Structure 1
Amino acid sequence: MIDWSKQHCGVHQAPFDKVLELMPDLVDVLKTFPDDPSRFTWDVKVHMLMPRQFPCVPNWHVDNVPRVDGVQRFELVKPELPMYCWISGPPLTQFKHGFLTPKRWHRFTQLDEHRGTASGDFGWRGFIRATHVDIQAPKPEGHLRRHCQVYLDAETFQW
């Protein structure tokens, strides 16, 4: 069982060996990855959430669509290549076909729309995304994630 409150904020565009080095507590989850982990670029985000905070974009969106001059270029998408995600628990990410099941790897593509949902409680959430290296190559350095943003509902936010 991973204690997400004791983890770094995560990793950003890292090769598999860096994930293991920087976040060794994830090894048991990563052992269950259904593909060859060396063929993927890894992102891990750890969020401390309060009620009504979103750990990811709350509007329908897709991941890793190439941009040229700030414009998404869908003709450059490689839908035959997989991406995978894994979440530790709520709030659940919603895809068009339904909500992700926590603690399970989910395969998706650059064209699969999804959105974040709001936290109903105070708590910690871990998110892991693996993107095929032919979609996004790992960065050469700087893999330790220094911060993770949350999204707020401006209509209901209060401190």
Structure 2
Amino acid sequence: MSALTPKTFTSQVKTINTFGQGLSNDIIKNEPMFFNSGFDFAMEKGGDITRAFLNALPLDWKRSGMVFDSRVHMLMPGWYPAIPGWHHDDVPRVGDGQPDYEKPAYRSEHILGLVNAAVCPTHFAVGICTMPAVRDGEVIYKYWDKEVSKLIADERMYIEVSKDRTMYYFDCDTFHTGTKAVANGWRWFGRVSRYTDRVKSITNEIRVNAQVYLEFPTQGW
């Protein structure tokens, strides 16, 4: 990757709807998980949570090309359902695997929702922020993660904590991160994306496993 010049982002998130009710742990743990799925396939093969989430989408999202991903985790305190760190979703990647902020081929938009969010909420960093230049060979998000955390500590950005069964709109400029679980429990994560090249290669995959990440490997023993 060639050196990256400083970039200014409007990192924002918007609450757009709620979805589902009476979603017990039994429903969560038996919910099918999807990867790179189209709307119709997920509606046909999904359970109560998937259908509630997709039905609650704005009409223009249902009619536009979109891709759906979901995961179910059984979590314990300290476990992460995703690799943590402030990052953007679905910025086009260049040959070395790093996100392309100089001339991105597209600008994606997303809607995210969680069931049992209190177990392990997603955090959004909100505010206008300028990220510093990145030198050759540096991992962009590893470098910028510290910068976002510093802006939050300095109260120049603030954290929006996702709530249960609430749908959040954000885009490829919105910094967000997974967090470590704070309680035992089942957690469902769902996200739809549009204006992305992923919609050109829908594979309609049903997943049967989901990994967790541990800060301290012996913690779950």
Aligned residues: 157
Task: Tell me by how many angstroms 1:133 deviates.
Answer: 4.6
Distance 1:117 1:77, change over 3 A: farther
Gaps of at least 5 residues in structure 2 are 1-21, 127-159
- Counterpart pick for 1:32 among 43, 47, 56: 56
Runs of 4+ in 1 over 6 A off after TM superposition: none
Residues 11-90 of structure 1: pairs in structure 2 closer than 5 A: 11-25=34-48, 26-34=50-58, 35-39=60-64, 40-69=66-95, 70-74=97-101, 75-76=103-104, 78-79=106-107, 81-88=108-115, 89-90=117-118
Structure 1 residue 113 corresponds to structure 2 residue 210: no
- Any conservation in 1 of the 2:109–2:195 contact (CA below 8 Å)? no
- Any conservation in 1 of the 2:78–2:215 contact (CA below 8 Å)? yes
TM-score norm. by structure 2 comes to 0.64
More helix by share: 2
Residues 1-20 of structure 1: pairs in structure 2 closer than 5 A: 1-2=22-23, 3-8=27-32, 10-20=33-43
- Any conservation in 2 of the 1:49–1:123 contact (CA below 8 Å)? yes
- Any conservation in 1 of the 2:67–2:202 contact (CA below 8 Å)? no
Q: For residues 13 and 142 of structure 1, what CA distance do their matches in structure 2 show?
A: 6
- Any conservation in 2 of the 1:18–1:143 contact (CA below 8 Å)? no
Task: Tell me by how many angstroms 1:29 deviates.
Answer: 2.7
Task: Tell me by how many angstroms 1:96 deviates.
Answer: 0.6
Q: For residues 129 and 65 of structure 1, what CA distance do their matches in structure 2 show?
A: 15
Percent identity for Structure 1 against Structure 2: 27
TM-score norm. by structure 1 comes to 0.87
Gaps of at least 5 residues in structure 1 are none
- Any conservation in 1 of the 2:39–2:68 contact (CA below 8 Å)? yes
1:150 alignment counterpart: 212
Higher-Rg structure is: 2
Q: For residues 77 and 93 of structure 1, what CA distance do their matches in structure 2 show?
A: 27
What is the RMSD of the two structures over their aligned residues, measured on CA atoms? 2.0
Q: For residues 200 and 36 of structure 2, what CA distance do their matches in structure 1 show?
A: 5
- Any conservation in 2 of the 1:4–1:46 contact (CA below 8 Å)? yes
1:93 alignment counterpart: 122
Q: For residues 24 and 155 of structure 1, what CA distance do their matches in structure 2 show?
A: 33
